[in-house]
Amino acid sequence: MQHHRGNPTLLAVLAAAACANAAHAQVADGQLQEVVVTAQRTTSLESKTPVAMSVLSGEALREAGFGTPAELAKRLPNVHLDGAADGLRITIRGMSNSDATDKGDPSAAFMLDGIYIARPQNQNGLLLDVDRIEVLRGPQGTLYGRNTTAGVVHVISRAPTRALEGAFGVEAGNFRSRKANGMLNVPITGWLALRAAVAVDRHNAYLRNGQGTPHTPGQDAGRRAARLSARVALGPAASLLLRADHARNDYNPDSFVSDNNFFRHADSGKPEWYGAAARDRLTNRFVPRNVVPEQGWGRNRSAGAGAEFTWNLGPATLHYLGAHRKFDLDFLTNYIYRVAPQATLGVRQNFTGGQRQDSHELRVATSGDGALSAQAGLYWFDERSHSNYVFRDLAPIGLTPYYAFPTDPTVAKSRAAFGQLAYRVTGRLRATAGLRHTEDEKSRVGATSFQQGPAFNPATDFQLPNAARIETDKRTWRLGLDYDLAPSAFLPATFVYGTLSTGYKAGGFNDGCLAGPACPAAAAVAPGYLFYRPETLKALELGAKTRFWHRRASLDAAAFMYDYTNLQLSGNAIIAGAPRFITTNAGIASVRGLELDGKVQASADDRFSYGLTLLDAHYVSYTPDGVHSWNGRKLDRSPSHVLTAGYQRRVRLAGHEVRAGVDARRSAAYMIGVPSKLVQYRVPAMATVDATLAWRPDDAPWTLAAYAHNLGNRIAPATIDSFGMAVPGAPRVVGVRFDYRYQ
């Protein structure tokens, strides 16, 4: 089909134009402009913040044509953001998580305006009226809490201002992509300002149907999102920011193909990568012998309301941040279900579920520029979920016709107290110490149901209880030193830092129950199988942030060493005659690496970006099945090196401005592991190229732009699960966009 090849004329124009990377830094008098961040929960310059981090501005996202978090990874060193079938999969410095169920936890926290978003299915929505995205690499347990052993992805939206302004944009591209967005900011009075934003994103399926059915395949989108914000001035010293948002996505969850689309001998457990055209990678040719697939469908709904209160008390400022969020998901999907070598079934699954979460944080931070600065706070989180998975079509291998996993409720609670001090020892040297104590509680009431039909019948069916409760707690801490090196004839202005910190990810449980009144002895499982322990780490990081050549060039460098204990790994397996999703602890893992990235403003019209990451992330002690050793094997999505380069050129022609450029990324080979099957899939080295082109007449309020992602149309699997289902990455995507802004 022609739309899979994109628009050759447009692609040729874009490639010839050599378009730019969407970097957040802008030019001010020929210099790279400083970027203000809140990575340490206080306002600071990125170049003076002792954290390895990347910042992408909302303007940069718009110029690059990025609409969801899964599209950002090519701009982020040592980061994978994959749009998996079950939500956003975040991997930072080789650390990831594949448990997207209501009992699982991520290794990297995803936050929206300071609010922790617990479920990955609720993380890959539209980037709506974004001010910036801060991606923090490395454990952030002191200020951001549990489940941040890998880092933090923080999306920060624009707040109402005192200026009357508005904007709208429309976009069209291949795969019948249609996008639109709008924003209106209105100062109502001197004490009240309102801001509204909306966005729509629709495109046809990236996948092709090779199954011989009339059904539409997946990797489509039907997203809509809206947000209303109000800023209220409560006198000269206090303010209240209120936000309410709603989003939905009507889509097809059949977003996978067989791993045979990428690897030979995958059925036998010895996968070998082979070359193929993008069209072949994206075609689902699996034809099950046991069932006729149905048309897949999915409905995703999310909504939230939050409040942020700030009160300047003079020597200190009081901050409150709270939110209530809800998420509902219903779908029907057709699985590829390999139960044994050369034996693969089609399995249909219905799912219905929902989640509600409440969070509150009260924090006090000192004001002023004294030698001592401090912040301390209390945090409270409560999440309640219900769900029902119903699998069918396993009868041909002698299993029950229907398996159901009803759960109501699954509860996750977290309580924490934290504080961090920073003391300026001299005018240039500062010491930091932070501590957080976290208590987590998880529980679940549910069952594994063996059924003859879609609904449970007590006369013919039976259930095994899935009921467990676990409490874990941990103190995480952070010690740091940073120093401002004065510029000299031999050394430019440089900020250096060193941190020693710990991280913690809560423990949890698998399917089953312990023997007791509610759990018959015949259904009971051993505690060692039912529970898995918290994941912890110790991390050492040394970094430097340099601005040189009269602040026209930058270099950020970070070297890090992690030692993980009880790394949590998840996968599917058939246990006691039922498919189950289990998590185990992987003993010890080691992560070592180096990151270099920077920019060069070669002239007022030319800007370069560059990056190099080196990574050694491997298991030190791990036997997935208790027999076979994986010691020394690489962790998932941890290429030994990645190179990035970008170039942006601005040309002025008779009252017009044209911006063009290119961004390239080459990743070394990496692994995607399935420990429950003792299989690792090796994805070979691969390069991708993006391009953008924009034109605007001088003083015009509008811009016409074009972009192309993945010019070479290289397709790699984003995820591969225990049953041989692979989710392909996005193909070549091109689009043309018109933006208008009033202010």
Res 380 pLDDT > 80: yes
The pLDDT value recorded for residue 18 is 33
CA 631 from centroid of its chain's CA atoms: 28
H-state helical runs in 87-204: 141-144
Q: What is the mean pLDDT of residues 50-75?
A: 92
Name residues whose C-beta falls within 8 Å of residue 290's C-beta, 6 or more positions apart in sequence: 345, 346, 393, 395, 396
Strand bridging mode 208-209 / 283-284: parallel
Confidence of residue 168 (pLDDT cuts 50, 70, 90): very high
Confidence of residue 75 (pLDDT cuts 50, 70, 90): confident
State how far the Cα of 123 lies from the Cα of 81, in Å rounded to an integer: 11
**How many residues appear in the chain?**
743
Q: What is the mean pLDDT of residues 546-565?
A: 94
Residue 199 sits at the vertex; the CA angle it makes with 196 and 201, to the nearest 5 degrees, is 175
Res 236 pLDDT > 90: yes
* Pair 472, 506: CB distance under 8 Å: yes
List, for residues 475-530, the tens digit of each pLDDT value. 999 999 999 998 876 778 899 999 999 999 999 999 989 988 888 887 888 898 89
Rg of the chain on CA atoms, in Å = 26
Res 53 pLDDT > 90: yes
Res 5 pLDDT > 50: no
For the full predicted model, state whether its pTM sits above 0.75.
yes
Res 335 pLDDT > 90: yes
Name residues whose C-beta falls within 8 Å of residue 9's C-beta, 6 or more positions apart in sequence: none
Which among 457, 474, 373 has a CA at the least distance from the CA of 417? 474
List, for residues 621-668, the tens digit of each pLDDT value. 999 888 899 999 999 999 999 999 999 999 998 899 999 999 999 999
For 411-480, the DSSP string reads EEEEEEEEEEEEEESSSSEEEEEEEEEEEEEEEEEEEEEEESSSS--TTT-EEEEEEEEEEEEEEEEEEE
* Pair 580, 510: CB distance under 8 Å: yes
Which among 42, 716, 738 has a CA at the least distance from the CA of 376? 42
Res 42 pLDDT > 80: yes
State how far the Cα of 83 lies from the Cα of 729, in Å rounded to an integer: 8
Confidence of residue 11 (pLDDT cuts 50, 70, 90): very low
Name residues whose C-beta falls within 8 Å of residue 397's C-beta, 6 or more positions apart in sequence: 339, 343, 345
Res 605 pLDDT > 90: yes
Cβ count near 169 (within 10 Å): 19
For 387-398, the DSSP string reads EEEEEE--GGGT
Confidence of residue 212 (pLDDT cuts 50, 70, 90): very high
The pLDDT value recorded for residue 394 is 86
**Helix, strand, coil percent values for the chain (each to nearest 5):** 10, 60, 35
DSSP state of 685: P
> What average pLDDT does the chain have?
91
Q: What is the mean pLDDT of residues 127-144?
A: 94
| Token couple for 518 | 């509610």
Cis amide prior to 409 (ω within 30 degrees)? yes
Q: What is the mean pLDDT of residues 351-360?
A: 96
Q: What is the mean pLDDT of residues 131-143?
A: 94
Res 619 pLDDT > 60: yes
DSSP state of 276: -
Which among 468, 463, 465, 473 has a CA at the least distance from the CA of 506? 473
Structural domains in the chain plus CATH codes:
2-38+226-270+294-731 (2.40.170.20)
Which among 383, 374, 362 has a CA at the least distance from the CA of 431? 374
* Pair 171, 206: CB distance under 8 Å: no
Res 50 pLDDT > 90: yes
H-state helical runs in 570-684: none
DSSP state of 731: -
Name residues whose C-beta falls within 8 Å of residue 318's C-beta, 6 or more positions apart in sequence: 309, 310, 311, 362, 363, 364
Q: What is the mean pLDDT of residues 326-350?
A: 91
List, for residues 249-267, the tens digit of each pLDDT value. 999 999 999 999 999 999 8
State how far the Cα of 459 lies from the Cα of 450, in Å rounded to an integer: 12
Name residues whose C-beta falls within 8 Å of residue 244's C-beta, 6 or more positions apart in sequence: 227, 228, 229, 303, 304, 305, 306
State how far the Cα of 680 lies from the Cα of 321, in Å rounded to an integer: 43
The pLDDT value recorded for residue 523 is 80
List, for residues 687-706, the tens digit of each pLDDT value. 999 999 999 999 999 999 99
Q: What is the mean pLDDT of residues 219-243?
A: 96
State how far the Cα of 381 lies from the Cα of 111, in Å rounded to an integer: 13
224-238, 439-453, 561-575, range with the lowest pLDDT: 561-575
Among all chains, which residue has been given the structure tokens 């001998």?
Answer: 265
| Token couple for 221 | 């989108």
The pLDDT value recorded for residue 14 is 33
**Comparison of pLDDT for 254 and 86, the residue scoring more:** 254
Q: What is the mean pLDDT of residues 308-331?
A: 97
* Pair 333, 347: CB distance under 8 Å: no
